[in-house]
Every structure is written in C-alpha cells, then in structure tokens.
Amino acid sequence: MSALPTGAKSKRNDVLLLLLGFAALAAVGVAAAWQLQRSAELNEQITRALLYKTDLIHLLSLVQDAETGQRGFLLSDDERYLRPYEVAIGEIDEALAGVVARADDRGVKRDRIETLKAALKVKLNELSETIALERAGKREEARSIVISDRGREAMNALRGVVGLIMARQDEILAGRVASAKLNDQRLLAIMVLGLLIAGALAWASQAVLRKQARSLAEARTELAHANEGLEAAVSERTAELTAANQEIQRFAYIVSHDLRAPLVNVMGFTSELDAARRTLKDQIDRLDDEESRRVTTEARQAIEEDLPEAIGFIRSSTAKMDRLINAILRLSREGRRDIRPESVSIEKVVEAIADTMYQQIEAADAAIEVKPGLPAIVTDRLSIEQIFQNLIENAVKYLDRSRPGRVVVSGRRVGALVEYEIEDNGRGIAPQDHERVFELFRRAGAQDQPGEGLGLAFVRASVRRLGGTIRLTSEAGQGSTFHLSFPAVLKSQSEGLAA
C-alpha cells in the first residue's frame, strides 16, 4: 500500500481532530442534558415536599379555625360564632385524605399517620362534645371540659404529630436542596467545559478553513495556469467538430445525390425491360397461334411469370431505395438549415396537426387530447412542428386497434426548461427496443405499417439540434410515452457562436 501524500495526511489529521472535538462537544451536550433532567427531577421533589408541608399546615390551620369557632360559641352562646367551626369541619376530611394519600410518596411512616388520625379524632370529638353540651343548655359541663385542659392537650398532641411529620419533610427537603446545589455546580462545570470545547472547535475550524482557503487559492492558481489557452483549444475543437459535421452532411448529400443517378437508370432500364417482356409475350402468343410446338412451356413461364416477378422485385427495391435516399437528403438538408428562434404556441401546433390528421384519427377510432397549461416555447418553428408531427403520427399509426385510441399531449415549465410528454395507449415498445427505435433504419415490433425506420432518428437529430433531449418510457401492450425537454428560449446560431 502506497503512503499518503503529505497534503492528504494533513487534511486527514485535521478532519480527525475536528471529529474528536465535535465528539467531545456532543458528549458534553449529553452530560448537560442529563444534569438538566436531574435538576428538573430534584426541583420537582423539592416542590412536592413543600406542598406536603403546606397540606399539613393547612390541616392544622383548619383544626385551629374549628377551635376558634368553638371558643366563640361557648363564650357568647351565639350560633353565628360557629361559622368558622362549620367551615373547617367541612374541609378537614378532604385535607386529611390528601395528607394520608401522599404519605407513602413522601416517606411518612404508617404509624405516624395513624397517630395523626387518632389525635385529630380526639380533638374533633372534644370540640363536638362541648358544642353539643352548650346547645343542650349544659353550659357549666361544657366549660368544665374546656377548663380541664382536655382540649389543649389534644391540640398539643396533634401539633406534636404534625411537627414530627414536618421534621421528616424538612430532612428530605434539606437533602434534595443539597443535591440540587451539587447538581447545579456540576451543570455549571459542564457548561463551562462545553464553552471551552466550543471555543477550541471554533478556533480549530477557523484554522482549518484558513488552511483550506490557502490550499484552494493555490489550486486555483495552478488551475488557472493549467487552463491557459483552454478556451482557445475548446473553440478550435468546436470549429473542427462543426467543420466535420458539415463535411458529413455534404458527404451524405453528395452520396445520396450520386446514388439517385444510377437508381434512375435502373428504374428506366426496368421499364424498358418490362416493355421488351410485353413485346416478347406478344410474339410468343402469335407463334403459339401459328405453330404451338415452337414455344416451350419453360419459355412461356419465363415470359409470363418469372420476368414479371423479377421486374416487380426490382421496382419495389428501387422504390424503397428512392425513399431511403429522400430521407437521407431530408436529414442532410435539415442539418444545413439555419435555426431561426421565434415564439411558438405548442398548443396551436398540436391542434393544427390533429386537424391535418383528421381522417387517420377517425379511421383509428382515436382522439388527441391536449392538457391545459401547455407552455409556449421560443425555438425554431419548422423543427418543432416536424418533431411533434412525427411523434403524433407514429402514436396514431401504432395504436392498438382492439381498443379506442388515445393520444395525450401535456407539458410544463421547469426552470429554464420546458418539458413535453406525448403519451399513447397503443401497442407499446419492449424495453430492449427503447434505444434502437432512435437508430437509422431500425424498427421495433410487428412490421405491418409502411416506413423505413427513419422517423425517430430524424426526431432525435432535430431535438438535439434544438438543444433538447428525448427519451422513451414504454411497456409492450400498455402504450408509450415520449419525454421531450427543450430550453425555454433557444439562442440563435449567431448568439450561440458569440457566447
């Protein structure tokens, strides 16, 4: 294995260093996220401890309100002073239920909750008993209970139990607060570390970017030196290719033109040969009338069957060659014709083609549909008309006669391009023939329609000359779709050369 160049090693080391830095920063981020989650949990636990203490204080406050109402009623014998007692008694059960329900969650022992319930019950019984005696007119008995300190002792017992529970919550709260402080310190340290790593990464990134910028500047300088004269070389090569293309077009024109002369001679001599055959046939017919034995069966078969068949083959072959020569001449002339861009409405082009093909469309039980929004284009009108004419004619020609034919033309604008699709529900083309149908003299599928295999070759040449592309998607028996893409605005040949 060959050693890496020094520059490649340096770049690799820079990348590894940055990757390590980002990995460290990611680790710091994960640690910070964990500490934040831990802080949230501790804060929630502190909040729950404080709320539990609030519930205990609220319960004790309700008992004190009840006692205040009791004392006022006993002193005044006025039912209005019982209002605090009645309100407190209505809320005590709910407050006690809340304290009991959250006892396990707050680490309160079950025996202390039972002690709390018992102390509360003693105090509430003392309050209700004295109030009942006062209402029964037994004021002295009620006051004797109050004077006996029974109520004060019950209240002190209740306060003692509540105090023990709150002391436990204070211990829990102190632990949580200490943990929260420690967690905050850790989080602060992690954040500081993260800032340091981020700063180091920023500095390292800038250093790498500066190094890369210097390398890029050096590479651009080298590229500029290497590309000196490249435009001239490209222009020279383009001129050579243009000249070669023109030479090929001239050669095709000359060859097809020169082929036409002997072809015309063959066609003429074929006519003369046919005329001579007819003269010989007349002579043989007269000889047969005078002395039938002089004309053999082979001679008559040659005159009446073999020669007409041979002459027919010659004529069909020369006619086919004439069509091929005309197609080659058409391709040659199209290549030499100047491109003249103008605004062309493709919708009107397709409608005109449909009008001219009315008879063929009716005979094929077909319909041509133009989707709304077909974009216009600035291009060579004659070329674009010929492209669409060929493709639509092909679509109609190769429709499946077992079902109503349908040819759909659609299009859209895509940035600086326009895209068109010509879709049919005809015979379709097998995948292996998708490319060969664009080649000269190549056809696909059943050869039951007239043609020489030049139409799609002409279409592709014309599409390329307009700066576009053409491709085919099709499946045998399912129909075909030709996808066309052109510049929305085609530059003239003079503009293209100037650019």
**pLDDT digits (tens), the chain, 499 positions:** 455 566 666 777 777 777 887 888 788 888 888 888 887 887 887 888 788 888 888 888 888 888 888 888 888 888 888 888 889 888 888 888 888 877 776 667 788 888 888 888 888 888 888 888 888 888 888 888 888 878 888 888 888 888 888 888 888 878 888 888 888 888 888 888 888 888 887 787 787 778 778 877 887 877 777 666 666 664 566 566 455 455 555 555 555 555 656 666 676 767 777 777 777 777 777 766 655 556 667 766 777 777 777 777 677 667 656 666 665 666 555 555 678 899 999 999 999 999 988 888 888 888 899 999 899 999 999 999 999 999 999 888 888 888 888 999 999 999 999 999 999 988 888 877 767 777 765 555 555 455 555 678 888 888 998 999 999 898 888 889 999 999 999 876 555 544 4
> 412: which 2 tokens?
């859209």
Please give the CATH topology (third level) of the domain spanning 341-498. Answer: Heat Shock Protein 90 (3.30.565)
Position 246 scores a pLDDT of: 56
Contacting residues for 102 by C-beta, under 8 A, at least 6 apart: 48, 52, 55
Q: What is the DSSP string of 253-287?
A: HHHHHHHHHHHHHHHHHHHHHHHHHHHHHHHHHHH
Q: What is the Cα–Cα distance from 448 to 439, expressed in whole angstroms?
A: 19
Position 241 scores a pLDDT of: 47
Closest CA to 367 of 351, 378, 390, 379: 351
Where are the alpha helices (H) located in 291-367, listed in sequence order? 297-301, 307-336, 346-356, 358-363
Closest CA to 139 of 152, 130, 147, 129: 130
Q: Which helix H or strand E contains 386, and what residues bound it?
A: helix 381-397
Q: Determine the 3-state secondary structure of 430 from DSSP.
A: coil
What is the amino acid identity at position 306? D
Q: Which residues are 486's β-sheet partners? A: 418
Q: Report the interhelical angle of 139-147 vs 150-226 (nearest 10°).
A: 60
> 315: which 2 tokens?
């004529």
What b/e readout covers 188-225, taking b as 16+ CB neighbours within 10 angstroms? eebeebbeebbeebeeeeeebeeeeeeeeeeeeeeeee
Position 245 scores a pLDDT of: 53
pTM exceeds 0.85, yes or no: no
Position 339 scores a pLDDT of: 80
